[in-house]
């Protein structure tokens, strides 16, 4: 009766490469600009136009494959994937099928309890679709009266990464996605911005009785636009499927769209016309044969990867801090600040909590100055510290003027101020004495105000209790 259920999760991720030009024509990549202003006969699929592959896109895909410990194909082939849709001008997408550039890799995802290895089935190169805008007589919405097409995005190089169904919980799935994103960003392949669609992902979810290895019907969650959203969506879907099975029902294969703006292929029309893409080798292109030399050159361009750094840093800090620092792109600054003399834990706290909120580019920061701030943050007024942190990215920033503003902890200096404030607020003072201790905060606030925030809150609290007592 009380089966325990094991979720089975697989991911399919699309990442737009930030090359100078498109995948199969030399139109500028990185759309924007007037609609259809970045197009040519090739990406508009005019009669007679032919694709010519972008060398850099091929090399960057191989690089990502190497970062994911994939086998790089000795011979890779482009295929045509046939389907009609307004955003697909040739009515086929040039993609890869049974001979992808990269296959059989993995990404080790650090977790609190060591690393979880997630298998990478394949990473292949293809072209992005155009943008459909569905419009009604007034404004833009669904159930539209017309579809407008802008081909600027059409032909943007797109890497598709497919994982094995090795994920069994939403949290690890989220960590995998964050780590993959950071890896792609650090390799310089893509901005991988979910909100701009330069990174998109679909999730396949099914559940099975724990301990079995059956694969039950899976549902597909498409185009979720945030990692947290994805984690929530996965948890909700897992719960839903378990509920269905425990009620003796069956889960049917379906696709749940979260962000229709980023659809890649059209929804199926009907059962009897189940999508048949009729893949076949693209006869306008010849095979890609990377060769040892190229692959080794690309391997040499890859530095220490985020996953490895999380594990290494987690030896000094908590796993949580290490994860936040690395996936937040803050760990290199952290190392520099620590080298400059700051306490590792304090530095991590400042970076992961306060600094991250400022949105300052870590690479713009003078680690030495930041280290000073971190080390003395207990001794200077909170207001001064916040102000300094907000400015730490400015060129020529110096921490010294802020360090000069010491906190006042001397009771001889503070007591008279505190007494004055108690006298000025007799009502509140009486209520406090009659047990309403919540009012302490009110008095602390008054004192800090009076001292322009320079008073040491710890001392003020102590003295207030005594003097009100």
Partner 1 sequence: MTVDTLRLSAEEGNKLVTDGEISSDELYRAYLDAIGERDPELHAFLYVCENDPGEGIPIAIKDVIGTRGIPTTAGSKILESYIPVYDATVIANCRTRGLRVIGKTNTDEFAMGSSTENSAFGPTHNPWDPTRVPGGSGGGSAAAVSAGLAPWALGSDTGGSIKQPAALCGHVGLRPTYGTVSRYGVVAFASSLDQVGPVARNVRDCAFLYSVISGHDDNDSTTVDVPDVELPTAEELKGLRIGVPKEMNGVEGIEPGVSAAVNKALELAESLGATVEECSLPRSVDYGVACYYLIAPAEASANLARYDGVRFGLRDDGADFREMVMKTRDAGFGDEPKRRIMVGAYALSSGYYDAYYRTAQKVRTVIKREHDELFERFDVLVSPTSPTVAFPIGAKIDDPVAMYMNDVLTIPSCMAGLPGLNIPCGLSEGLPVGLQLIGPQFGENTLFRAAHALEQAIGFDVVPERLR
Partner 2 sequence: MARITKEEVLHVARLARLELSDAEVAKFQEQLSDILEAVSKVSELDLSDVPPTAHPLEIANAWAEDVARDCLPLDDVFANAPDRDGDYFRTPPA
What is the binding site for partner 2 (CB under 8 A)? 19-21, 26-28, 34-41, 44, 52-58, 75, 77, 84-86, 132-134, 143-151, 266, 272-273, 276, 278, 281, 283, 285-289
Residue 160, binding choice from Mg ion, Zn ion, partner 1, none, Cβ under 5 to 8 Å by partner class: Mg ion
For the bound state, the minimum distance from the C-beta of residue 265 to Mg ion, rounded and expressed in Å, comes to: 8
Identity of the residue, 31 or 176, whose beta carbon is nearer to Zn ion in the bound complex:
31
Contact letters (x/-) for Mg ion, 131-170, by CB under 5 A?
-----------------------------x----------
- Per DSSP, helices labelled H in 72-223 are 170-186
Scored b (16 or more CB within 10 A) or e, 210-227 reads eeeeeeeebbbbbbbbeb
Q: What does the H/E/C string look like for 225-242? A: CCHHHHHHHHHHHHHHHH
Long-range pairs for 462-469: beta carbons < 8 A, 24 or more residues apart: 463/411, 463/414, 463/415, 463/418, 464/418, 464/440, 465/440, 467/415, 467/418, 467/419, 467/422, 468/422, 468/429, 468/432, 468/433, 468/440, 468/443, 469/433
For the bound state, the minimum distance from the C-beta of residue 132 to partner 1, rounded and expressed in Å, comes to: 9
Identity of the residue, 43 or 288, whose beta carbon is nearer to Zn ion in the bound complex:
43
Among 34, 84, 304, 412, binds partner 1 (CB under 8 A): 84
> For partner 1, which stretch binds (CB under 8 A), given 6-14, 37-45, 58-66, 354-362?
37-45
Dist CA 408 CA 383 (whole Å): 14
Dist CA 148 CA 35 (whole Å): 10
CB within 8 A of 240, min separation 6: which ones? none
Identity of the residue, 160 or 166, whose beta carbon is nearer to Mg ion in the bound complex:
160
> For partner 1, which stretch binds (CB under 8 A), given 87-95, 159-167, 313-321, 398-406?
87-95
Contact letters (x/-) for Zn ion, 7-26, by CB under 5 A?
------------------x-
Residue 50, binding choice from partner 1, Mg ion, partner 2, none, Cβ under 5 to 8 Å by partner class: partner 1
Residue 43, binding choice from Zn ion, Mg ion, partner 1, none, Cβ under 5 to 8 Å by partner class: Zn ion
Among 14, 22, 80, 262, binds partner 1 (CB under 8 A): 80
Number of residues that bind Zn ion (CB under 5 A): 5
CB 353 within 8 A of CB 332: no
- The pair of structure tokens assigned to 282 is 């693209």
- The pair of structure tokens assigned to 98 is 């049974």
Dist CA 145 CA 143 (whole Å): 7
CB 159 within 8 A of CB 76: no
> Comparing C-alpha atoms, which of 192, 153, 132 is closest to residue 29?
153
How many CB atoms neighbour CB 289 within 10 A? 10
The residue written with tokens 């099928």 in the block is 97
> Comparing C-alpha atoms, which of 29, 214, 36 is closest to residue 132?
36
What do you get for the CA distance between the two ends of the chain, in Å? 62
**27 near Zn ion, rule: CB under 5 A:** yes
Among 20, 46, 320, 441, binds partner 1 (CB under 8 A): 46
For the bound state, the minimum distance from the C-beta of residue 218 to partner 1, rounded and expressed in Å, comes to: 20
> For Zn ion, which stretch binds (CB under 5 A), given 5-13, 40-48, 310-318, 416-424?
40-48
Identity of the residue, 132 or 163, whose beta carbon is nearer to partner 2 in the bound complex:
132
Closest residue to Mg ion using C-beta atoms: 160
**307 near partner 1, rule: CB under 8 A:** no
**43 near Zn ion, rule: CB under 5 A:** yes
Residues that bind partner 1 (CB under 8 A): 41, 44-53, 80, 82, 84-86, 89-92, 147, 149, 269, 276, 278-280, 283-286
Name the site residues for Zn ion (rule: CB under 5 A).
25, 27, 40, 42-43
Contact positions toward Mg ion, by CB under 5 A? 160
């Amino acid at each position: 009766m009380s089966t325990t259920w094991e979720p089975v999760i697989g991911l399919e991720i699309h990442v737009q490469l930030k090359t100078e030009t498109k995948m199969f024509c030399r139109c500028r990549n990185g759309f924007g600009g007037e609609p259809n202003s970045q197009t040519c006969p090739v990406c508009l699929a005019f009669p007679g136009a032919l694709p010519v592959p972008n060398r850099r896109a091929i090399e960057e895909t191989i690089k990502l494959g190497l970062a994911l410990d994939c086998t790089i194909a000795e011979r890779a082939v482009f295929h045509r994937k046939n389907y009609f849709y307004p955003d697909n001008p040739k009515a086929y997408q040039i993609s890869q099928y049974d001979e992808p550039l990269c296959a059989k890799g993995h990404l080790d995802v650090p977790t609190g309890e060591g690393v979880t290895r997630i298998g990478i089935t394949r990473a292949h190169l293809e072209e992005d679709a155009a943008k459909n805008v569905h419009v009604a007589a007034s404004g833009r919405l669904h159930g539209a009266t017309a579809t407008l097409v802008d081909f600027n995005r059409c032909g943007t190089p797109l890497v598709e990464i497919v994982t094995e169904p090795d994920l069994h919980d939403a949290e690890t799935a989220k960590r995998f996605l964050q780590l993959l994103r950071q890896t792609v960003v650090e390799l310089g392949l893509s901005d991988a911005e979910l909100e701009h669609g330069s990174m998109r992902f679909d999730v396949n979810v099914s559940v099975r009785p724990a301990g079995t290895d059956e694969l039950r019907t899976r549902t597909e969650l498409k185009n979720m636009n945030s990692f947290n959203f994805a984690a929530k969506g996965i948890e909700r879907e897992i719960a839903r499927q378990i509920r269905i099975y425990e009620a003796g029902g069956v889960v049917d294969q379906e696709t749940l769209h979260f962000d229709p703006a980023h659809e890649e292929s059209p929804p199926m029309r009907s059962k009897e016309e189940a999508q048949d893409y009729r893949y076949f080798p693209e006869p306008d292109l010849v095979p890609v044969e990377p060769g040892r030399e190229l692959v080794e050159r690309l391997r040499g361009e890859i530095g220490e990867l985020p996953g490895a750094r999380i594990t290494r840093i987690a030896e000094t800090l908590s796993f949580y801090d290490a994860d936040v620092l690395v996936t937040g792109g803050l760990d290199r600054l952290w190392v520099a600040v620590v080298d400059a003399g700051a306490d590792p834990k304090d530095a991590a706290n400042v970076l992961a909590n306060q600094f991250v909120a400022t949105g300052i580019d870590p690479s713009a920061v003078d680690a030495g100055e930041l280290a000073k701030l971190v080390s003395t943050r207990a001794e200077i007024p909170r207001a001064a510290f916040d102000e300094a942190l907000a400015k730490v990215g400015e060129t020529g920033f110096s921490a010294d003027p802020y360090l000069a503003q010491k906190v006042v902890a001397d009771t001889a200096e503070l007591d008279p101020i505190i007494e004055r404030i108690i006298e000025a607020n007799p009502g509140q003072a009486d209520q406090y004495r009659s047990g309403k201790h919540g009012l302490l905060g009110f008095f602390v606030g008054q004192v800090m105000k009076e001292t322009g925030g320079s008073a040491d809150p710890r001392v003020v609290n102590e003295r207030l209790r005594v003097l009100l007592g």
